Structure 1
């Protein structure tokens, strides 16, 4: 079994990813709809997501830097504590000020998965650096893919839980607003469990020397990757954060149906994570990332013109199989191309470059949905992602990770 050879700490990291993914998944499905139930307009909802992603991007970069200085394990425990605080605020307060405060504190709900797929979020750069320490270079793509697979499988199961509010309303007569609160309470309980998981992970931390944040050698690579990440996530942010809300407005879909659709979406994404290292071994990491992502970009555009919920849902599920295949490969690729002592910083910087535009986009998307057309963000977002795919291939097609470079014959 491939899991038998995994380091014990790598397994614990995957357990933590799965727990977070389960919780973040149902929150990602219901959060925009919950805000709608509170009476907020589409533009305000978009603004909440933007605040979450932008603040999350800034803090994520900080967490990456601090993890190199003070230890990754300590930062992960701190993030779990902030998750508890954030969800406690959701349970007891519904004023816009407190909603914004909660999403800034931990980005849970709005922005919980940003930068890293299901269960990524602000934990992602710290987790990437810690996981890279627990695997050999030749197994890195596989281990990062398994980690993403665990996140997506648990995310698919979590998506089914998004139907809980509707069930509580229909079967138990709960008030609409109150019916969402058990999900926030469950997330806080999961975060408490995460603290114990992180405590069990071993780490021999050597504080990074206080000099340049990232060396020139790593800096050139990180800069190019970050610039492309801006374009890619400007497009992705027009689509992803409000996609469940788009289905809700476009087709009038109930929460249970959305839960099933996202369950299938995350399940097929999980299968793609297992396929990713196999395909990468055959055609290379860069080609795998570009080709899979380009297909997904085209599907984003086609979803905008789907005539029925069934047709749009099928395309979303198919898109999920190819859209996220690049996530573990990109994380592994980044860890391979920078120095080991700079991994937390590099992950933080690249996540910052990806999440800031991802954070700006929801407000723009919400304005387009309210003032122009519901489907305009899908078309523009997919087009921007296609531009990124072409540029990524041009810039990185000859830059291979160490495991793909054949040693020269003597």
Structure 2
């Protein structure tokens, strides 16, 4: 099939998974509210799903190359579908929380799960060093198109309720069932991947080089800080915030997150263009930092539409660090270390995402609706400053003077 054929399949699977994730990120908060869940129980459910995703990322990091990347991707889909079915049709809070854990239910609204680790490790081999960031940019553009359309699909329950005259809970269950079906559509994509996506030699993973180890330790600590901030800002919690603060429903929230994901998608191409001119680290920091300041102002907006405009401006910047960050990490480690590096850096982020939502839900219930937004944005500002101080001198190979 060749490396371009595998890249197209990865793009297609990423799109379908993002479509499902974008939809469930918006619907989950509204669905659990319709079931009578408190903000704290919502936080526990989101946290349980992200905890399952974190443990799956651990397993991916250490075993995906050994057991086979294609088989591992298929196993992840199966667990996701089982959890999705139970969440869609159960009523017990604790059963839903457990199913969210097993199914790695992603309340972030963005696909950042274990499957991404494998795909992130494969992508560099499908492009030249100069084209690596572009390959990641298009990968994330495809994802965010899926996220955007998924946010629009969050309006499906409202349409179903209107046309089929069903209850709100039944309509939302239909939306959650659609999420499960979309996950299942990735199975043919993974089955069609060529053997070239596998590592050449399986068995004992080679040790990290001393330089790679130093880089991974530092960057993982920083990504953990950023992940903790992101855990306060999941799509499920943000949709709950907009619903409670401004009284908007699934239709308005779905349109808002559709616009947000379109802004995310366009920003990835801008990130690839900008990184060639100012470098990967500078692109990460100088686009990410102002996005957090915009979110802080959106928290105190006087109306939904003002908050929506500020939020969309934020979304046009916040994701520009994603393809650049992943390209940077893949560039500064050896090719045989990429799955481990992708897994470790993703693992710490997902672990922190899993910790924060439970606290965010408690802060919303017993404190202020805006508390998670302020805390999440503040942690991200700190991350940006520390990232620049730590890595602005360590260049990827294509940015070294000798490579120009």
Q: TM-score, normalised by structure 1?
A: 0.93
Instruction: Report the number of matched residues.
Output: 400
Q: Which residue number corresponds to residue 317 of structure 1?
A: 312
* 1:163-178 alignment runs, 5 A limit: 163-178=155-170
Q: Which residue number corresponds to residue 224 of structure 1?
A: 218
> What is the alpha-carbon distance in structure 1 between the residues aligned to residue 260 and residue 60 of structure 2?
30
Q: What is the Cα deviation at residue 213 of structure 1?
A: 5.7
Q: Which residue number corresponds to residue 98 of structure 1?
A: 95
Q: Which residue number corresponds to residue 78 of structure 1?
A: 75
- Indicate which of 338, 346, 367 corresponds to 1:343: 338
The range that moved more, 53-62 or 302-311, is: 53-62
Q: What is the Cα deviation at residue 140 of structure 1?
A: 0.4
The range that moved more, 13-22 or 201-210, is: 201-210
> What is the alpha-carbon distance in structure 2 between the residues aligned to residue 39 and residue 222 of structure 1?
43
Residues 93 and 214 (structure 1 numbering): CA distance in 2 closer, same or farther, change over 3 Å? farther
Q: What is the Cα deviation at residue 219 of structure 1?
A: 1.3
Q: What is the Cα deviation at residue 215 of structure 1?
A: 3.6
Q: What is the Cα deviation at residue 211 of structure 1?
A: 5.0
Q: CA deviation digits over 1:316-363, x for unaligned, max 9?
A: 111111000111111111111112112111111111111112211111
Query: Is 1:194 matched up with 2:168?
Result: no
Q: CA deviation digits over 1:140-195, x for unaligned, max 9?
A: 00000000001101211111110111222233221121112222332332233211
Q: What is the Cα deviation at residue 109 of structure 1?
A: 4.3
Asked if the contact 1:214/1:346 (under 8 Å) is kept, the reply is: no
- Indicate which of 57, 62, 78 corresponds to 1:65: 62
Asked if the contact 2:285/2:388 (under 8 Å) is kept, the reply is: yes
Q: Which residue number corresponds to residue 243 of structure 1?
A: 238
User: What SS class does the counterpart of residue 119 from structure 1 fall into?
Assistant: coil
Q: What is the Cα deviation at residue 197 of structure 1?
A: 0.7
> What is the alpha-carbon distance in structure 1 between the residues aligned to residue 193 and residue 75 of structure 2?
14
Asked if the contact 2:19/2:182 (under 8 Å) is kept, the reply is: no
Query: Is 1:256 matched up with 2:248?
Result: no
- Indicate which of 345, 364, 383 corresponds to 1:369: 364
Q: What is the Cα deviation at residue 23 of structure 1?
A: 1.1
Query: Is 1:141 matched up with 2:138?
Result: no
Structure 1 unaligned residues grouped into runs of 5+? none
The range that moved more, 251-260 or 355-364, is: 355-364
CA RMSD of aligned residues (A): 1.8
- Indicate which of 24, 29, 33 corresponds to 2:30: 33
Q: Which residue number corresponds to residue 162 of structure 1?
A: 154
Asked if the contact 1:14/1:150 (under 8 Å) is kept, the reply is: yes
Q: TM-score, normalised by structure 2?
A: 0.95
The range that moved more, 79-88 or 280-289, is: 79-88
Q: What is the Cα deviation at residue 6 of structure 1?
A: 7.3
Q: Which residue number corresponds to residue 132 of structure 1?
A: 124
> What is the alpha-carbon distance in structure 2 between the residues aligned to residue 187 and residue 45 of structure 1?
18
Q: CA deviation digits over 1:199-224, x for unaligned, max 9?
A: 11113333444256644331111111
Q: What is the Cα deviation at residue 408 of structure 1?
A: 7.7
Structure 2 unaligned residues grouped into runs of 5+? none
The range that moved more, 168-177 or 327-336, is: 168-177
- Indicate which of 172, 176, 189 corresponds to 1:180: 172
- Indicate which of 6, 10, 17 corresponds to 2:7: 10
Q: Which residue number corresponds to residue 389 of structure 2?
A: 394
Asked if the contact 1:213/1:345 (under 8 Å) is kept, the reply is: no
Q: What is the Cα deviation at residue 16 of structure 1?
A: 0.6
Q: Which residue number corresponds to residue 266 of structure 1?
A: 261
